[in-house]
Every structure is written in C-alpha cells, then in structure tokens.
Amino acid sequence: MAIDLKSLKKNQSYSAIAPVSELLDDLNELAVMDKDAEHQLKHYGTLRLGLIVGAIVVAFLASLFLFYVGLIALVGLLGAVIWVSIQRAKYVGLDLPDERYQFAQEITNLLARDMTPEQLVQLDVGFRSALAAENKTNSQPHPKRSGWTLDSYQHDWFKVQGGFADGTRFSLALMEMFQHASGYKRSASGKRKYKSKTKSKGTTLDLQLFCPRKRYGALDVLRNDAEKAVQMLPGVRLKRCRVTPKGLAITLLLPPDATASMVRDSLIKLLLSAYQVLNLAQQLSQKSKPPKKSKKRKRNGGRIGA
C-alpha cells in the first residue's frame, strides 16, 4: 500500500485499514522516509548555516574592501540560503518522531501473533506534537499562579483495531495526557518574561475486547474477579476493568515518567491479563470440561492457553 505523502505531511498522521503485512510494509517505509528526511534536514541545515556564516563574512569583507562585488556575492549567498531553506522545508513534515512508528511496528507485530494473515487491521498513528491545538481538552486559570493559564491536553496518537483469530475484536488505544502551564513571570530585575511548563500527567492504555459468546460465553461469571487477574508493572494503576457478557474493557494508567519500553511491557501484561480471563471463560464455557486434577502437575499444571 502506497503512503500518501501529501496527506502524511499535511495531517501528520498515518491511517490505514490493511492486513498486518501491508501495515508493516508501510511502517517500514515510514521509517525509511523519516531517516531520509532526518538526513536531508541535517544536510540542508548544515548547508544553510554555512551559507549564512559565509554571507556574514562576505558582508563584513564587502564593507571593508569591495563593496559592489561583495554585495553581489551577498545577494547570491542569500538567494542560496533561501533555496536551501525551501529544499529543507520539503522534508520538515516528514521528520517523524521515531518512537511513534517504532511503537506501532512493535505493537502491530505483537497483535499479529494471534491474527490470521488476511485479517484487516485499522491502524492510526499520529505524529503531531502532543501540544497541538486539536489535543487541547481544557483551559482554565492556573489555580496557584495568578495570571497563568493551565491547559490540559489529551493526545491519542496510537489506535489499533482489528480481530484475533478466535473471533475476538480488539480495540487498543494509547493516550498521553499533559498539562501545560503558561504565563508571565516577573524576574528579580522586574522584567516580565513569558514562561511555560509542560508536565506529563501519565499515559492511559485502553484495551477493549469484544468476544464471541459461543467461545467465551461464561465470561460474565468472572465479572467480579476479573480485576484481580490484571497484573501490572510497579507504578501502573488499574483505572478500569469492566466485564460484560460480550467482552471486557481494561484501562491502565501509566505514570508520567513511563518510557516507551514500559508502555510496551504494560501492553503485553495487559493483553495477557485479558486473555488469562478469557481463556478461563472459555474453559468454563465448554460443554465438555477437562477433568479435575487430583494433584498439581509438576510442570504447567492446569495451564491453559500458553
């Protein structure tokens, strides 16, 4: 599937419905494009800097020695600076945050383990800054600092939806939350300076599974205990765990300092937690039950689904 560059640059997002293999191809292509853009930006940036320095030197020399020749050279250099800037601008929208598409690659690969190759996945990855205007959810006067405003941002830059091979539909979304405080601060010398401070308020991981009742019909039985099956990394909080006869929804709140690897690990734990519940529900739903073990097995006793 070809990536629509124009749309990518304009919207700063990637959105597609495709089999995993095609999505991964796209994400690889994004990575290549990003690396190329980074390289070009660096290249043109260096060139521009060199030209600007050159222009300054020429301007200085011209003012001392050959004014007209220097002026022409200066105009030429400035023209070159403009051209280089234009060239550089072509790549500005294509320099994407690496961690976003890398995360998307990792998670898509993770989910693909339990999908059939032909199953379609809807993947949305946003590359805009978290503090983009469209992410602002609230704005209020700062409760402690007079004259300051406190803006809240919610940035849901990753969302993936699709189906597993067992008939379960999944929806997984990641949302980062920020608070941005801004206002004028008077320095000791009496000057007013504009200051701003952005603070992460954590990241939520939201997993929703819609399960085929035939396979997981007994899920509702586990409603009151499902929460206890959720295992989390230290610092991660369970925000919601809701079980209905048709599926379950679990939301985790990760701490503000969560790294990309912590998000990934939490996500694996989240998926395993959900399926720890579902696999038991599947056992309870079966018409023919596995027999009770008279004694705990030495290895993997009563182990299901792994």
Out of 120, 130, 131, 173, name the contact with another protein by CB under 8 A.
120
**Nearest approach, Cβ of 248 to another protein (angstroms)?**
13
**Nearest approach, Cβ of 266 to another protein (angstroms)?**
9
Nearer to another protein, 136 or 169 (CB): 169
Pairing status of strand 120-126 against strand 13-19: antiparallel
By rule CB under 8 A, what string of x and - marks binding of each residue 240-269 to another protein? -------------------------x--xx
Nearer to another protein, 78 or 221 (CB): 221
Helix 260-285 × helix 98-112 angle, to 10°:
20
Residue 110 sits in the site that holds another protein (CB under 8 A): yes
Residue 294 sits in the site that holds another protein (CB under 8 A): yes
Residues of span 197-216 touching another protein by CB under 8 A: 212-215
> Measuring CA to CA, how many Å separate 113 from each of 21, 77, 164, 209?
12, 55, 9, 16
By rule CB under 8 A, what string of x and - marks binding of each residue 134-173 to another protein? ------------------------------xxxx------
From 105, 116, 99, 111, select the one nearest 268 (Cα to Cα): 111
Give Dmax (Cα) for the chain: 101
Nearer to another protein, 77 or 174 (CB): 174
Q: Near another protein by CB under 8 A, which window of 23-31, 53-61, 146-154, 286-294?
A: 286-294
Q: Near another protein by CB under 8 A, which window of 38-46, 75-83, 90-98, 275-283?
A: 275-283
**Cβ–Cβ under 8 Å, residues 29 and 142:** no
Residue 280 sits in the site that holds another protein (CB under 8 A): yes
Q: Could you give the CA distance from residue 283 to residue 280 in angstroms, rounded to a whole number?
A: 5
Q: Could you give the residue ranges of the DSSP H alpha helices within 145-247? A: 213-216
Rounded to the nearest angstrom, the gap between the alpha carbon of residue 304 and the centroid of all alpha carbons in its chain is 32
**Cβ–Cβ under 8 Å, residues 275 and 305:** yes
**Cβ–Cβ under 8 Å, residues 275 and 290:** no
Pairing status of strand 192-210 against strand 149-163: unpaired
Residue 299 sits in the site that holds another protein (CB under 8 A): yes
Interface residues with another protein (CB under 8 A) are 1, 17-18, 110, 113-114, 116, 120, 164-167, 212-215, 217-218, 220-222, 225, 228-229, 231, 265, 268-269, 271-280, 282-306
